[in-house]
Structure 1
């Protein structure tokens, strides 16, 4: 019999509430993400640079504020306040979406695209930070994979709800559903805080006061200074280039084939649902097997191969192939690439990790979105066809696989036993 069971008796309640919390947060996000994506389809890929420029500015402005809040206040205090702020924002958008046909789609799309991205930064990303406040290291290794299942279920339930209900409640009604789900998650936060205070055995008495180290500027300096961090930034940019090109092509396809907001939202929800199911299957099978037995390098290389093969197919089969390309490449990006990519940070010292990861995951990523979409419009203006875009993205995918392999080999090998202990199944990623 193992020394530590998967869940001890006093932990059951907290695990169930935490899994429910994660379910509600990701379901809330995935209900509204198709709403954002149908706006991208309504205006077409030519407007994406405007969307991403506004998002880049908002990210650069808000990331330091977010870091300061995390460093100054216990998360159990500021997370509910932040969630209430975003619920209020969701409610404010409802009358705008009811009048969507009479409002400039570019203006509404820009506003909601920024809102969705900031929602991701402030609402989704703090979940695991809060979990780190509640549980100690030994508990995290046992409990986080189980809690992650709640997020995986939410990432599937959210788009499933959207696809089923959008024709009944409309796009504006989906915002109400998302706001309700997010409001219910606040109850989970309060309940978990009370459990933490009554269960000191779970960890040290100051676990609710922990802060996240590092700063935004320090992260930029360290990223440019470190050869490994520079390579990880390039790897992020290449992966982002592939995803952004595919996103732009999907926006144009959806706008051309689905003429109403409800139809475009239902199509986007179907894409998310298929992607998240495939991603969960990859994480539970291929990704875990590769990372436990061989480490991150083969997983990063495999992701590049999968994307390159799918993009080669799109260059041949054109338009109708785009849905399959989106589902498979996104599932690979977040079911294979992301767990392997994030595992590389676990092998560097804490100071480097704290300083650089936030900068690469925000500024570098958002800057890449802006550059790629602007370049996309420039290439289209000189006559580049779908096959040309697919070929360029295929080259970026292959380069991503090669650089990922090389970056992983720069780090010391981790034993299979250690990898198995540290590998936590990631929920559906919300970045794109």
Structure 2
């Protein structure tokens, strides 16, 4: 997460340079790449044992980070739009595949009961990296510039790979540990299971609805950044501050509400509560509209607040709950099905939402109207979250005795 959050504002400053009208192009390119990579990833999962799979996947992205350094040194000559499409696609693929693979691995080595107890703590560790990464960027970007940040990101990713390989080895040595064997199966299994497994269908819908809300906020903030910041450094600093605020909120949730909710009430509630928060938040923005307000002497745009809260709950509560639920599905679903939902389905949602936002903007829709549409999406997401958390094809939850009386919501 440190590696990703060092380069995230570098990516976002490119989208901020061109505004939301270019986001459909960015997300469309990402979606096409995801569709092409899905069978390739399925082939790797089917044929390679866990350690080589981790090594090859993370190693590929480390090499790519180093290859982008000279490109960013020539950003002005290449152009923000051209470099933006390439780097935006790559970073999106990097984030989704690396993070999805990490959590597939976590779901592979922990049981359901263990996951509900420790996944919020593991996510908190990731949030620590997500806080440290923006701090590193904030300290270094004005001193060394944008391109050298990629070298720092590559170093952080290399350290994470070393730790993952060590953890995999330790798990395989434990009684009952697995990982020496390849998962096998079809390279198209991730796509096929989306239609055959109710839980994956619910997760795909929840991904689309949740992504719709997050991408709507992202597109509106991109327009704000384009209008208010003229250079790459100031845009990078602005997006970096958004990441810091988001991750602070996520860390607070993971230290307080999320562990209690997952252990005492079950992982399903970790999907329902954020959906309700999004519903209330978007309804408020629909009534109030855009603009800014004063906060400790600073002018804070309401759109930035919406993005921080929606993403903070997504990282601080939804993500640990989702990954805890994936411990209750077969291994092939954890890697192939989960990866397809969190990569191709996610970016399909990005493409649809950004295209819809651009179209509605052309029709004259403002912030309040778009937020009202988002309120309807949040209401649908709440219904789907309830169904996903108690899907009939999930294996029984190995709860502690104190948790056995927790039932699904009526």
* Both proteins in one fold, TM over 0.5: yes
2:386 equivalent among 384, 402, 405: 405
Residue 52 (1) aligns with residue 27 (2):
yes
**Correspondence for 1:318:** 290
- Equivalent position SS for 1:113: helix
Over 3 Å counting, the alpha-carbon distance change for 1:128 and 1:212 in structure 2 is: farther
Q: Give unmatched runs, 5+ long, in structure 2.
A: 292-300, 405-410
Residue 114 (1) aligns with residue 89 (2):
yes
1:365-393 CA deviation, whole Å, 9 max, x = no partner?
11111111111111111111111111111
Residue 304 (1) aligns with residue 275 (2):
yes
Question: Higher helix proportion, which one?
Answer: 1
Number of residue-to-residue matches in the alignment: 391
**Correspondence for 1:5:** none
Residue 395 (1) aligns with residue 376 (2):
yes
Q: Judge conservation of contact 1:132–1:140 (CA < 8 Å) in 2.
A: no
- Equivalent position SS for 1:157: helix
Q: Give unmatched runs, 5+ long, in structure 1.
A: 1-25, 422-432
Q: Judge conservation of contact 2:282–2:374 (CA < 8 Å) in 1.
A: yes
**Correspondence for 1:72:** 47
Distance 1:353 1:179 in 2: 27
**Correspondence for 1:417:** 400
Distance 1:220 1:260 in 2: 42
Q: How does 1:353-364 map to 2 (within 5 A)?
A: 356-364=337-345
1:233 equivalent among 204, 227, 231: 204
Q: CA deviation at 1:38?
A: 0.9
Mean CA deviation greater in 46-55 or 118-127 = 118-127
Over 3 Å counting, the alpha-carbon distance change for 1:333 and 1:215 in structure 2 is: farther
Q: CA deviation at 1:225?
A: 3.7
Output the TM-score relative to the length of structure 1. 0.80
Over 3 Å counting, the alpha-carbon distance change for 1:266 and 1:186 in structure 2 is: same
- Equivalent position SS for 2:256: helix
Distance 1:372 1:84 in 2: 32
**Correspondence for 2:296:** none
Compare relative contact order (CA 8 Å, sep 6+) and give the higher one, 1 or 2.
2
Q: CA deviation at 1:190?
A: 6.2
Q: Judge conservation of contact 1:283–1:335 (CA < 8 Å) in 2.
A: yes
- Equivalent position SS for 1:300: helix
Residue 257 (1) aligns with residue 228 (2):
yes
**Correspondence for 2:365:** 384
Over 3 Å counting, the alpha-carbon distance change for 1:390 and 1:217 in structure 2 is: same
**Correspondence for 2:10:** 35
Q: CA deviation at 1:299?
A: 3.2
- Equivalent position SS for 2:146: helix
